[in-house]
């Protein structure tokens, strides 16, 4: 399988336009799968044949991941990598049939994306000092993160020529090397413009390294110099790790929330758009999601918002939403009082009374 795996990874890079990070992830997942198939068949890894990658090997691999307490999302990702390899081998006439189609994908857990509230975002954006050059750079980074919902790798990969300040648009190279245009607001435009003046001084500083400040890129037609948008104090492109570290630093200084990463700013961007009435299809385009199902996880709006939207939107809703909410809250309050008094039976009656009250008040 060594040669087949190399050919498959090359296929991913050249035919699927997969990024180097994606190719490395596939290589790691498939190496684990092939190792497991070799152990299951009782052969060395070098002696594994495409025929060994059958339904039994796939199911056994999933069982082993479960035994080692890997998450369902991890198991689903590794299974998807194995299925893609098997389909490639089938197309190359290395195997017959599609054993991957007969193995069900583990059901993923539904997790709410970590995000900041609007007030927390305001505090975070104000945490970066605008009195220093690096502070103005950090403010521009935070503003662009929140205004455009970029991925961390997308932000660090931006060049100066990718930003159009007059149109307030940024050109982003996303997953699968797909380009998209994302708008940003006036506040972000001002923050980037203020930072660009500092950037020119940093890059032109004799102490900065020309090799770090920019590089030549060949796209097969012409060569041009790449000038990174966000640079460090030596004029070199900021790395993913550096931006991650500075975002976490400002989160720690402005909020008591733990576990807030740069990706949480992307979640905040999508959540706040949805809460203010944006449709999922538009959010999908802004985020660069290939599937709408990926965007649907941001639909964790609370019941009050749903009732408010229903009350304002449905032609015959009338006062259903607010009346039902008030009556249900009243019933819930009575239930809590009864429960604190140790009267479990009366708590249930109070809850039912609240529901009945909601129904009566909702009637036209």
Query: What is the Cα Rg of the chain in Å?
Result: 27
Give CA–CA dist 12/9, Å, rounded: 5
Query: DSSP E strands: which ranges in the chain?
Result: 163-164, 169-173, 179-183, 215-218, 223-226
3 state DSSP class of 135: helix
DSSP string, 180-240: EEEE--HHHHHHHHHHHHHHHHHHHSTTS-HHHH-EEEE-SS-EEEE-BSSB-TTSPBPPH
- DSSP designation for 51: G
Reported for 73-78, long-range contacts at CB under 8 A and 24+ positions apart, including other chains, are 73/108, 73/109, 75/106, 76/105, 76/106, 76/108, 77/29, 78/29, 78/32, 78/33
Strand partners, 170: 163, 182
Residue numbers annotated as active site: 151, 175, 263, 266, 289, 298
Q: Structure tokens of 306?
A: 């749903």
Q: Any idea how long the chain is?
A: 364
Give CA–CA dist 59/323, Å, rounded: 52
3 state DSSP class of 170: strand
Residue partners of 309: CB distance under 8 A and separation at least 6: none
């Amino acid at each position: 399988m060594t040669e087949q795996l190399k050919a498959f990874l090359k296929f991913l890079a050249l035919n699927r336009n997969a990024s180097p990070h994606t190719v490395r992830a596939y290589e790691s997942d498939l190496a684990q799968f092939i190792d497991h198939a070799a152990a299951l068949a009782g052969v060395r890894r070098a002696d594994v044949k495409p025929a060994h990658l059958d339904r039994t090997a796939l199911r056994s691999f999933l069982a082993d991941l479960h035994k080692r307490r890997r998450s369902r999302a991890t198991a689903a990702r590794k299974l998807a990598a194995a299925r893609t390899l098997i389909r490639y081998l089938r197309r190359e006439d290395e195997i017959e049939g599609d054993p991957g189609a007969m193995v069900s994908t583990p059901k993923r857990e539904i997790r709410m994306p970590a995000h900041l509230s609007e007030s927390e975002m305001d505090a975070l954006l104000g945490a970066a000092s605008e009195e220093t050059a690096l502070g103005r750079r950090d403010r521009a980074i935070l503003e662009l993160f929140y205004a455009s919902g970029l991925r961390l790798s997308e932000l660090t990969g931006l060049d100066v020529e990718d930003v159009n300040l007059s149109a307030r648009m940024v050109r982003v190279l996303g997953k699968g090397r797909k380009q998209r245009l994302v708008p940003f607001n006036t506040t972000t435009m001002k923050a980037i413009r203020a930072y660009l003046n500092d950037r020119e001084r940093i890059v032109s500083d004799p102490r900065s390294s020309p090799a770090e400040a920019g590089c030549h890129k060949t796209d097969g037609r012409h060569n041009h110099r790449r000038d990174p948008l966000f640079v460090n104090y030596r004029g070199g492109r900021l790395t993913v790790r550096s931006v991650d570290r500075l975002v976490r630093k400002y989160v720690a200084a402005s909020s008591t929330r733990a576990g807030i990463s740069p990706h949480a700013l992307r979640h905040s961007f999508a959540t706040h758009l949805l809460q203010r009435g944006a449709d999922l299809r538009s959010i999908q385009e802004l985020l660069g999601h290939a599937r709408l199902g990926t965007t649907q996880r941001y639909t964790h709006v609370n019941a009050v918002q749903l009732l408010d939207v229903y009350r304002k939107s449905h032609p015959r809703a009338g006062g259903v939403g607010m009346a039902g909410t008030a009556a249900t809250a009243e019933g819930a309050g009575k239930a809590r009082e009864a429960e604190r008094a140790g009267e479990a039976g009366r708590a249930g009656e109070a809850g039912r009374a609240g529901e009945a009250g909601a129904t009566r008040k909702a009637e036209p």
